[in-house]
Structure 1
């Protein structure tokens, strides 16, 4: 090699080394644990998308991420324990999934991902009916966009607006539009904890019509009571408590005296009184002490009613028999349908015309799996606590033709 070629080679080598050094300097300038934004990963099991970092949070969508599919994770945070880890990943669609089943390559937090923080702004919830998205929090405002039933929407914040379907809470979507919270399955009656408030407005103008494209037949996430600001103390979870053991059973226990007809009248009267108090259907709520907020367990349909005030079906019947006749028939449909004290007798599938006032009507199998219970009040009518979740979930209705059997008290 002559001197000129050797010098050129050395110069080229120096440039390469310099470039490598510059590159190394650039790499060294980036901390090893720096978050660099969203990343894609493969999931190791079929995962439900949830509306919070907890297994008790409402399911935004079942089987949202199939086993082996790719998911884009935006950020991570700690939450409820799930499958050996307390780390949860929030996806680009606004749903939460347990990090234990996401192949991030890390047993803890992935250093490439930012932390989500505690705010639930941007979290996905599912609509329970077709909804009009509006520019303002009024049912009279023009619809800009329609969100179909079972659509995932990202909620950025919540605010009071015009009453719609018995509630004044509105949700602002990632499109900058407002929808009535009643038809968004957040799992809460009123405001969602850690969800930002859009403003400090107070509820305005009652309205009984117009918020979405439906007539209000589907179950929503709130019925205008619960723990929202301004809720009456009778509907405030901090006052009435949660689950079957809430309230004071000693104060609500009724007399055991009287004829069969007198006991039945008191039971029906106790149940009927609850239809006038604006209670929601609330899974695991209510019992001998009266109405309460949900137990925190997730219902079979995916609702978490911890902050929703009212009764579920067996909570209402347990209360009515305790307050009306001073007897404890049990806390669940499975125990109530086989209760044998006080002359309770299995009657099979009676015709409605053969039912007697005070009969307990069940759906399911006697001594096996049961899903619902109601109290027959005569004239083909019954009292029940049932969805949709709203301010009239404890109500009188005609006996459904789908009932399976009857149990008669004080026979």
Structure 2
């Protein structure tokens, strides 16, 4: 999500501070673009929100640090109370100079799959032979659309600033997050860890219960009201709300618009042929999709920012369903989907940042995501123990 200066006059575009009145680019169009009109005022996910405190890592990957402020004020750091004091390295996020770019562009100009492209629908037999015949782009777009139109998506995720941090699993957070757009309510659980989940015996766990922040005491082995509560239980937090590529809660029409917007960014979505995978007694559809930086109408190359603009173009507001993007706005995303064979929705994913043109060779931030699609929000009931959520990858905890 966007990072603002303290005086609200600047936003960070991944390389430099820009004035808030600068407008974002639109995907290249095959016909003259629509007249550009201002689209609301620049905004943060909720009033007064500050980005999660970033930790400076010399030479760390673009997008997984907080940039230095313009010479106005110094940002006061947020201290997290608990047994584990943890500072996470997170994304700078994207541009929020919204404008009314056309959301009705012809999908065919952006490379829509052929109308007669072979594909799979939920309920059809999933075999290696069937997957070998599907159109990879059509299959991926179908998976994304089913994800987008899910009324509620429950996301358990974590981010790492580097490959080394991913492999060691030191100082990281696992977030269990679900938002119900109809009721505007949400479920949020956060674990701050210093070892793999199955090994960390003293996590700092926090859970929102009836709008109050409860924390797990490793000393007393019980839950109690947080001593230094944040706003995460009263105002929706953006990190962990989705995977940074697709958001849930859309109508079918909105999902079509978002997908068409991403198509129109020529070369952005690159889907490989899906394959069948058996792991740990379960069967998944594995598909690699590379979201590569694309040159837009401003002549600049943009990457992970494009899905956020597609979300906006579909008529959705990231202050209602917060948008979570742990990668720099000009970085690409190498993504490995593990798709459920019954629902044909994502069950898990591995994501890694990739360098964009002219960027330093250090974009190696990583995100791991587990997905589920409940009919209703999980009940916010305190567990009897620490209740740290599980987070797994079907092929094991390895770089991809």
Q: TM-score, normalised by structure 1?
A: 0.22
Return the TM-score normalized by structure 2.
0.22
Higher relative contact order, chain-length normalized (CA < 8 Å, sep 6+): 2
Choose 1 or 2 for highest CA Rg. 1
More strand by percentage: 1
Going by fraction, where is helix more abundant, 1 or 2? 1
